[in-house]
Chain A
């Protein structure tokens, strides 16, 4: 991922069709769709009915060939391309906005375009009959625009802009069914929680701006690599930047918004809260990896380098969310916690350093496919069961919804990391990276073991979800009368299921030795020490993680499918943990008391101070000063003026 030291304003045209130089047009397609739907959506809807949804599909579908074009050009060896325009003038400095497409950006572009297209097609069926039909596609298109902007940016400035805009779309879409209080609350919570992280992000940018007043990646990276930024400052800056990623990628301790975000429609959960937006935090760390890497030598808190802190936050998140996933009853919440956990995985891997870079990005891509598949599957289940989300009220859906059933299992196996499925290859690479690092430094054993434990839990809760939902007998009226979803939905499921299997194979060892490695990788700068190649396939690691995956699935099967192990046998000894997990480890409670009510309390205190003390002072002065002056005047008038007059008169009389 080598950036040129500074970008020429125009890149020389290559002999290939010039897709890379057209990459900046990609966001414009969904933006146009959004504008059409916002301004004319209601009118078009009255006239053409639900055909308007295809405007959204067209807007995002048009980006697929462009994104693929960019990717293939880069694969063919064309140099990364970019361009920019002046945006703001600050003294003699000019802030620019621009785009830059390299391997990392290109794979993200393709991922977003393909996943979003599938989800849009699915939404045609899923949103059928909803009052806000055209509004839904308008917001989804706006989201795609924002996400492309974020991915294509060549500077921290535009990254931040895209970052906040995806946050807006997330807000609008979580609260899509705004009449429901749960949805409106969740939307607000998501926006504010991520904004807390974004303050950190902003401070990071402010620190860097003092050294590199252009905010362009190329310049910032060059400054970091050439030591123009003191390493301690750089370390602080990267940590602040990472706060943004903690918020957006729902990492501990700002993960609380993501499970609630499931109040939005399922396609939203699939696109935004699983596949793309929440991965933006991981993308950001990957994109700014040269900074994190350059700061790696600067010990910060407790002697930990920024990357190690990233790793630990990721590890805590991965384990914590995995345990929470085990106790959920709501099918979408299982997937939500699983998303948090998997994002933690990616962060942990990035925290391993250069050796984990490729693996984390690879998992980001494969995860996008199988997790969006799972969410769409859950949406299909809800669609068939009259919006029931409680898995304990489902059961026996396998025969009623066969397409959903098979594709959901594909997604689940991929997520669990069963061999030959996409998730296996990417997860295995992450674990190999940890394994490699652990042989150098002991602390990384913690990472390896933690991730393996999380892998077991992942397989367990996915098995649990699948068995509860699809196997056994129907446990409610809804489940009994469930029906398969319309073709628009099942086709999208099948396309995604295809990717959830074969996407991983580009990282497989036997296809010319891991194609993904050869394309997306991190090259440490000239001054950075200790070059590390991406970890290669390792049979020991693969064996351990396969055992974990199968073990988790078997454990789930023995409890929930075969019922040979009663639930209480597991629940009893772990009861305190179970209660705590049911209460989401009390994060929401603590935040409610200290942050929400605390802030509101302070706000009301300030209001009272303002009314009674500050304005009271003003009114007091306004009351006292005239009173004093008038009294003083009266006294002066009575005694001095009048007295003087009397005196003079008296004097006059006397003389």
Chain B
């Protein structure tokens, strides 16, 4: 059963059905259809998980159909321990976002259609094994988000949408050039990622490999986003509707980090290793600087947006640490620390998706009630909205890396692994943990503690619909925080294979140069 294709195109079927519905008279049918197909997609991803075997490091559930023979382009899908968790994250967050979006009243038909298209685009990125297909899905995911921000966004939506679009487009173009470069460097020419990783077409090529690496870097780093390419993110988040922010932070940012792990590390291991230190430095800046800027924000959405810069920095630190290898250092413990760093990075992607998804939902909920997002405008809400306060505090504590919640496991593993590669950078990155704790606690204090701001004495606590969106995310934070093993079993197998692959390329290159 081609489960991946089924999962990938279920949203498209839903989207097609929605297109036939009446704009105004069948609003609820539209919403129900979108929800139903998002739920089916989620079920399909669970089915894929059921068919997935965590013990196997290679690509599974592969589907390969020739597509454009003359260019050797295939419709090639597959999953491994890297993409499986991200697929589940995507289908879950999409479902929750669509459920939450029942409250959207304006142009429901287009809204739901765009969301379903977006889901297919994101799933396509995480399942494609052919660069051509990958690029198509990458661009597909860009367009609906542009419209979601531009149509359903806040007052400065057009500025934000265009900024988001141009930034991402520049990144995509750089990535496209890099992909073409890889294609032409390979022989026989291929867009197949696995074939490229095996061929390693640019082994030993200094400048071309560097150019291609930085081309890919630009595409991925803008998406992550890494300092200094992050300024589209706060604008996009501030203007995007709640569900849009959830998907943007929860899934779209992960595509950048996914690109590094899926493409840059296996296909360009030498260039990755060579430039790892620079990535690590940018990651460190993203961590500390992102946390500091977050601290200075008064707008809750901006605060969470900058906290994403901060948290995605940990992902990139883990990636850089895995790519890096000290000269002469390939002992077993280095293998362990680099695998740990990579495990941590992937886990952090999932953790950040869960936690920040929840945080954006929570910000949206308070904005729906109070119509402001200024932290200073609240105060003492803990009394008025105890359930809301409790869940928000849980999400904040998860975000600041409290043990027992999933963020801690991920950050701890990133640090544990990255310390093997970068001692000082990792030590400095730990400062980010203190700053993060400071700004989240300060925010909690200003919103929830102290005497109740009389202005908000009429705010009501969370309703059932809102709880549906949040309870699954909170449960996941706790479950994987207490017992991350199931998730790590899936991730670890693939990441260990990746680190071994990189080392095999390095040692092949080393023995080659030794022979010469």
Contact A161 B403 (CB under 8 A): yes
Contact yes or no, A90 B295, CB < 8 A: no
Expressed in whole angstroms, the Cα–Cα distance for A184 and B389 within the complex equals 15
| Closest chain B residue to A178, Cβ basis | B449
With A199-B430, A206-B415, A600-B295 known as contacts, the answer to whether A160 contacts B403 (CB < 8 A) is yes
* Alpha-carbon distance A594/B484, docked complex (angstroms): 39
Complex: A185 Cα to B295 Cα, angstroms: 17
Query: A170 to chain B: closest CB distance in Å?
Result: 12
B397, CB-defined interface residue at 8 Å: yes
* B437 and A161 within 8 A (CB): no
CB neighbours (8 Å) of B232 from chain A are 618
Closest residue of chain B to A171 (Cβ to Cβ) is: B441
Docked CA distance A203–B339 (Å): 19
Instruction: Evaluate whether A202 and B430 lie within 8 angstroms (CB atoms) in the complex, with A164-B403, A210-B333 already known.
Output: yes
- Contact of B33 with A by CB under 8 A: no
Q: Within the complex, which residue of A93, A196, A206 is in contact with B419, where a contact is CB–CB below 8 Å?
A: A206
- Give every chain A residue within 8 A of B413 (Cβ-Cβ): 88, 90
Contact assessment for B484 and A87 in the assembled complex, using a CB-CB cutoff below 8 Å: yes
- Which residues on the A side are within 8 Å of B496 (C-beta)? 91-92
CA distance A196 to B416 in the complex (A): 18
Say whether, besides A175-B449, A599-B295, A610-B231, A192 and B434 are in contact (CB < 8 Å): yes
Q: How far is the CA of A181 from the CA of B380 in the complex (A)?
A: 10
Q: Which of B401-460 contact A (CB under 8 A)?
A: 402-404, 408-409, 412-413, 415-417, 419-420, 426-427, 430-431, 433-435, 437-439, 441-442, 445, 448-452
Query: Do A599 and B231 form a contact, CB below 8 Å, given A86-B485, A87-B484?
Result: no
In the complex the two chains form, what is the Cα distance from A607 to B333 in whole Å? 40
Interface size range on A against B: 35 or more
* Chain B minimum-CB-distance residue to A215: B416
- Within the complex, the shortest CB–CB distance from B287 to chain A, in Å, comes to 12
| A195→B433 contact, CB < 8 A | yes
Verify if B488 is at the interface (C-beta below 8 Å from A): yes
Which B residues are in CB contact (< 8 Å) with A603?
292-293, 295-296, 435, 439
Smallest CB gap from B484: residue in A: A88
With both beta carbons as reference points, the residue of chain B lying nearest to A164 in the complex is identified as: B403
Give the residues in chain B near A207, CB-CB below 8 Å. Answer: 419
Report the bound CA distance from A606 to B439 in whole Å: 14
Indicate the member of A90, A93, A615 with the most B CB atoms within 10 Å: A90
Q: B228 at the A/B interface (Cβ < 8 Å)? A: yes
Residues of A close to B449: CB separation below 8 A: 175, 178-179, 184
Known contacts A191-B441, A615-B231; decide if A91 and B295 are in contact (CB<8 Å): no
Instruction: State whether A606 touches B296 (Cβ < 8 A).
Output: yes
Are A206 and B289 touching (Cβ within 8 A)?
A: no
**With known contacts A179-B450, A203-B430, A91–B293 Cβ distance under 8 A:** no
Whether B231 lies near A614 (C-beta < 8 A) is yes
CA gap between A36 and B383 in the complex, in Å:
21
Interface residue? A563 (CB, 8 A): no
* Bound complex: CA A202 to CA B293 (Å): 24
Q: Does B437 lie within 8 Å of A192, measured CB to CB?
A: yes
Complex contact A90–B340 (CB within 8 A)? yes
| Interface: A576 (CB within 8 A) | no
Given contacts A86-B485, A195-B437, contact A607 B336 (CB under 8 A): no
Does B118 lie at the interface of the complex (its beta carbon under 8 Å from any beta carbon of A)?
A: no
- In the bound complex, do residue A91 and residue B499 qualify as a contact, i.e. CB atoms below 8 Å apart? yes
In this assembly, does A213 line the interface, its C-beta being within 8 Å of a C-beta of chain B?
Answer: yes
Task: Assess whether A602 is interfacial by the CB under 8 Å rule.
Answer: yes
Contact partner of B293 among A160, A192, A210, A607, CB < 8 A? A607
Among A88, A165, A205, contact of B488 (Cβ-Cβ < 8 Å): A88
Q: A90-B339, A603-B296, A606-B292 are in contact. Are A196 and B451 (CB under 8 A)?
A: no
Question: Which of B336, B413, B431, B484 has its CB near the most chain A CB atoms (within 10 A)?
Answer: B336
Partner of B489, one of A89, A192, A607: A89
Complex interface: chain A residues within 8 A of B333 (CB): 210-211, 213
A177 CB to closest chain B CB, in angstroms?
Answer: 10
B337 interface neighbour in A162, A185, A210, Cβ under 8 Å? A210
Q: Which of A88, A181, A603, A614 has most chain B Cβ within 10 Å? A: A88
Known contacts A89-B492, A195-B437: does B404 contact A165 (CB below 8 Å)?
Answer: yes
Q: Given A206-B415, A603-B292 in contact, is the A88-B409 Cβ separation under 8 Å? A: yes
Contacts of A652 in B (CB 8 A): none
- Bound: A519/B294 CA distance, A: 52
B296 neighbours in A (Cβ, 8 Å): 600, 603-604, 606-607
Q: Which of A577-623 contact B (CB under 8 A)?
A: 599-600, 602-604, 606-607, 610, 614-615, 618, 622
Closest to A88 in B: B488
Given A191-B441, A206-B419: A607 and B426 within 8 A (CB)? no
For B383, what are the chain A residues with a Cβ–Cβ distance below 8 Å?
179
Q: Which residues, 191 to 247 on A, are CB-close (under 8 Å) to B?
A: 191-192, 195-196, 199, 202-203, 205-207, 209-211, 213
A600 to chain B, nearest CB (A): 7
Do residues B397 and A602 form an inter-chain contact, with CB atoms below 8 A? no
Across-interface contacts of A90 in B (CB, < 8 A): 336, 339-340, 343, 413, 416-417, 492
Looking at B403, B442, B489, which has the most chain A CB atoms within 10 Å of its CB?
Answer: B403
Determine whether the beta carbon of B485 is less than 8 Å from that of A88: yes
Residues of B whose CB lies within 8 Å of any CB of A are: 163, 166-167, 228, 231-232, 289, 292-293, 295-297, 333, 335-337, 339-340, 343, 380, 382-383, 397, 402-404, 408-409, 412-413, 415-417, 419-420, 426-427, 430-431, 433-435, 437-439, 441-442, 445, 448-452, 483-485, 488-489, 492, 496, 499
| 9 closest Cβ pairs, A-B complex | A91-B339, A607-B296, A161-B403, A206-B419, A184-B449, A615-B231, A603-B295, A603-B296, A178-B449
Q: 9 A-B residue contacts at CB 8 Å? A: A88-B343, A89-B488, A91-B335, A91-B499, A168-B402, A184-B445, A199-B430, A202-B415, A599-B438
Binding site for B on A (CB under 8 A): 86-93, 160-162, 164-165, 168, 171, 175, 178-179, 181, 184-185, 187-188, 191-192, 195-196, 199, 202-203, 205-207, 209-211, 213, 599-600, 602-604, 606-607, 610, 614-615, 618, 622
